[in-house]
């Protein structure tokens, strides 16, 4: 049987170098790496990762746990993660909770198979027991947007996001500002939605504006759901808001489409602001808070690779406590000062 | 050290049953499974999957290879895949080509690590050499929408899709029908885009309609890109089409938004039809061809699990050659007969 020794001899390098070159880990020049791989290919040598895992205790495998792979935010974060993880020579094992359906089997069974070197969780609210179970794996864990006790988190200041969206509308002179958020009790990222709405409350309270319960609306994070609730929110011309803060761009697009279908002009009769910098926002001229979604994945992957000793060039060196993610307001033309001539008297 | 024997004794079952209960494979009653897991938890027993893989030659791991995890079609298929794969007790290892960036490392390196029991490829155009390399893994492979020589494929009749979209517009009386497709040479799913346009050509040729080169447009499969090309396509009132076939719903939505921004009414002045049954289509009242995207993932996973001998209830029993996926037209109000009073004379 062909062994690593044979490959090393054929390539004219040490066994350690051959091993590094074939595993994709450690520093080996491009040239050496190519030579070793060519030698391995010539000899028909293939690394058995099962055997090498048992020997090194490393699986070269990172687990990613998220609630819904088929929603834009999560698939975009995943895009950022796959890039870094594959570049670093790791496999990515995907655990999709599918809302809550697979939650127990992932936490109780899959993660315990002990073939992961590290775990990244995205947007999950887990309780203490779940967090303890994760920590008991004894491997590095990084969380994006999670509130996992004892686990290093990359966080976006969700309250600041809510506050920024409302502050922008207040600064334009709006006094009738509604909020569409996503606090379904069943949602695994309820805590994020809640914080965004708290930021909105803080902003309108600070401005001394009225808060009407009819203007605090809950929706899914989708265009369709927000479209439906916005139809109701905007139906009564004498009691409708002149501006809407949304917890996501997809929601904001739903509001814009509902406004159009009601014959309301954006921004003359209704200002709308979202969160995300979703690519679709460009077509709708949507004002938004960019939270650099793909970059969140990139950073989390680099932070975990750091801990695994596999930092690549451009590593962020993120440490727990130094891990707040950036935000940036993108002002387009879906927000403007309210035009009182265009709106019926407020009752 | 605690062994499977101890767990079996504590749970009062045979070792084989205990093993099945802990691995999540084979038929074990819910009750027995719970009892065995409780016994394992009490004793602190955890399966080492590394060791069990070496013993059985099975990794309980399915690889999924796709070109862009962050695009709607692929993340939706992935949602269908994760459900079945996790239900069957397998890990899902995700390989994202990121367009073409990771293509070589995935094909040359990652897949050869020999820790996969099977592979599902989604929407990939691979050449003979790539297909041979995949087949040389010696494990079951299922492809969705691929044209991989020698590999079992679940296929949608892409030509029929293109033909159906155009036939619908022809049947409504349109004679000026454009097509927006996605044939960028660099795209890994070029072959799909090409087949859809061929179907459109067949339809308009059969109806004896004029084909203008200006009406055959190439775009990305995104709202934004189609919005931009549609602005040009629709700009000249004397030379614009009265109907547009799009290769995806996202493209069709871009066309509807461009039409609105040009002051054109849909469907009175422009009919638009897409492909996918994207959830966003509902808000736009978009007529489309449903290709059951999540179901494509479900079916592919079940077909592979069949081959692995792990078919679950509801298995499709799909075999190579019996594997055409369903299509269904969803007619909403974005398409209608052309209203000649609303359109300038055709020049």
Band of residue B86 on the pLDDT scale cut at 50, 70, 90: very high
CATH class belonging to A158-290+329-342:
alpha beta
Task: Between B24 and A321, name the one with better pLDDT.
Answer: B24
A148-171: per-residue pLDDT in tens?
777 888 988 999 999 999 999 999
pTM of the entire predicted model: 0.84
Pick from A74, A86, A222: CB nearest B279: A222
A8 alpha-carbon distance from chain centroid: 42
Nearest chain A residue to B76, by CA = A70
Task: Between A342 and B264, name the one with better pLDDT.
Answer: B264
Contact predicate B162/B216, CB 8 Å = no
pLDDT at A133 over 50: yes
B290 touching chain A per CB within 8 A: no
Task: Between B308 and A44, name the one with better pLDDT.
Answer: B308
Band of residue A311 on the pLDDT scale cut at 50, 70, 90: low
User: pLDDT value at position A23?
Assistant: 63
Pick from B24, B92, B283: CB nearest A109: B24
Q: Flag if A79 and B68 touch (Cβ within 8 Å).
A: yes
Q: Flag if A82 and B69 touch (Cβ within 8 Å).
A: yes
Band of residue A196 on the pLDDT scale cut at 50, 70, 90: very high
pLDDT at B338 over 90: yes
User: pLDDT value at position B314?
Assistant: 46
pLDDT at A321 over 50: no
Task: Between B192 and A34, name the one with better pLDDT.
Answer: B192
pLDDT at B51 over 60: no
Question: Mutate which of A280, A292, A296 to test chain B, going by most B C-beta atoms within 10 A?
Answer: A280
Question: Mutate which of A41, A49, A101 to test chain B, going by most B C-beta atoms within 10 A?
Answer: A49
Cβ-Cβ contacts under 8 Å, A283 against chain B = 223-224, 227, 254, 257
Highest mean pLDDT among A137-141, B98-102, B150-154, B213-217: B213-217
Q: Which of A198-207, B236-245, B318-327, B333-342 has the lowest mean pLDDT?
A: B318-327
SS3 A163: helix
User: pLDDT value at position B315?
Assistant: 43
What does the domain layout of chain A look like in residue ranges?
Answer: 4-55, 58-156+293-316, 158-290+329-342
Are A4-55 and A158-290+329-342 the same fold in CATH?
no
Band of residue A314 on the pLDDT scale cut at 50, 70, 90: very low
Give the architecture (CATH level 2) of A4-55. Orthogonal Bundle (1.10)
B95 touching chain A per CB within 8 A: yes
Cβ-Cβ contacts under 8 Å, B284 against chain A = 257
Cβ-Cβ contacts under 8 Å, A106 against chain B = 86
Cβ-Cβ contacts under 8 Å, A94 against chain B = 64, 78, 82, 92-94
**Whole-angstrom distance, CA of residue B192 vs CA of residue B196:** 6
Nearest chain B residue to A59, by CA = B50
Which sign, positive or negative, has the C-alpha torsion A252, A257, A261, A263? positive
A184 alpha-carbon distance from chain centroid: 18
Highest mean pLDDT among A291-295, B154-158, B191-195: A291-295
Q: Flag if B83 and A105 touch (Cβ within 8 Å).
A: no
User: pLDDT value at position A332?
Assistant: 98
Q: Percent of chain B beyond pLDDT 90?
A: 58
pLDDT at A200 over 80: yes
Highest mean pLDDT among A128-142, B8-22, B84-98: B84-98
The mean of the pLDDT values for chain B is 87
Q: Percent of chain A beyond pLDDT 70?
A: 87
pLDDT at B343 over 70: no
B295 touching chain A per CB within 8 A: no
Task: Between B305 and B127, name the one with better pLDDT.
Answer: B305
Cβ-Cβ contacts under 8 Å, B101 against chain A = 83
Q: Which of A71-85, A270-284, A327-341, B1-15 has the lowest mean pLDDT?
A: B1-15
CATH class belonging to B58-156+293-316:
alpha beta
A68 touching chain B per CB within 8 A: yes
Q: Over chain B, what HEC string results?
A: CCCHHHHHHHHCCCHHHHHHHHHCCCCCCHHHHHHHHHHHHHHCCCCCHHHHHHHHCCCCEEEEEECCCCCHHHHHHHHHHHHHHHHCCCEEEEEECCCCCCHHHHHHHHHHHCCCCEEEEECCCCCHHHHHHHHCCCCCEEEECCCCCCCEEEECCHHHHHHHHHHHHHHCCCCCEEEEECCCCCCCCHHHHHHHHHHHHHHHHHCCCCCCHHHEEECCCCHHHHHHHHHHHCCCCCCCCCEEEECCHHHHHHHHHHHHHCCCCCCCCCEEEEEECCHHHHCCCCEEEECCHHHHHHHHHHHHHHHCCCCCCCCCCCCCCCCECCCEEECCCCCCCCCHHHCCCCC
User: pLDDT value at position B47?
Assistant: 58
- The complex scores an ipTM of 0.83
User: pLDDT value at position B269?
Assistant: 96
Edge-first strand listing for the sheet containing B177-181? B216-218, B177-181, B243-246, B271-276, B287-290, B328-330
The mean of the pLDDT values for chain A is 87
Cβ-Cβ contacts under 8 Å, A257 against chain B = 283-284
Band of residue A327 on the pLDDT scale cut at 50, 70, 90: very high
Alpha carbon of A93: minimum distance to chain B alpha carbons (Å): 4
Mean pLDDT of B222-248: 96
């Amino acid at each position: 049987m062909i062994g690593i020794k044979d490959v090393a001899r054929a390539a004219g390098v040490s066994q350690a170098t051959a091993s590094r070159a074939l595993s994709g880990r450690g520093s080996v020049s491009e040239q050496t790496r190519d030579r070793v791989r060519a030698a391995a290919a010539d000899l028909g040598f293939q690394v058995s990762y099962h055997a090498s895992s048992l020997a090194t205790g490393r699986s070269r495998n990172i687990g990613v746990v998220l609630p819904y792979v088929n929603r834009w935010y999560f698939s975009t974060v995943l895009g950022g993660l796959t890039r870094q993880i594959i570049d670093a020579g790791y496999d990515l094992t995907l655990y999709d909770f599918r809302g809550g359906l697979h939650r127990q089997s992932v936490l109780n069974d899959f993660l315990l198979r002990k073939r992961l070197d590290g775990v990244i969780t995205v947007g999950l609210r887990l309780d203490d027991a779940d967090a303890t179970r994760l920590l008991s794996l004894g491997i590095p864990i990084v969380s994006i947007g999670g509130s996992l006790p004892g686990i290093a988190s990359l966080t976006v200041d969700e309250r600041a996001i809510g506050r920024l969206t409302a502050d922008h509308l207040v600064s334009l002179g709006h006094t009738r500002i509604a909020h569409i958020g996503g606090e379904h009790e069943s949602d695994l990222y309820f805590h994020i939605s809640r914080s965004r709405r708290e930021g909105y409350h803080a902003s309108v309270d600070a401005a001394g504006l009225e808060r009407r319960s009819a203007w605090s609306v809950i929706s899914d994070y989708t265009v369709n759901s927000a479209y439906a609730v916005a139809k109701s929110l905007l139906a009564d011309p004498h009691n409708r808001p002149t501006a809407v803060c949304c917890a996501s761009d997809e929601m904001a697009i739903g509001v814009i489409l509902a406004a159009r279908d009601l014959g309301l002009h954006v921004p003359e009769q209704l200002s709308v602001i979202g969160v995300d910098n979703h690519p679709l926002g460009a077509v709708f001229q949507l004002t938004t808070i960019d939270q650099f979604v793909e970059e969140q994945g990139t950073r989390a992957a680099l932070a975990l690779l750091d801990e695994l000793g596999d930092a690549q060039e451009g590593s962020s060196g993120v440490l727990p406590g130094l891990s707040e993610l950036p935000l940036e307001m993108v002002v387009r033309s879906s927000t403007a000062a309210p035009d009182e001539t265009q709106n019926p008297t407020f009752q």
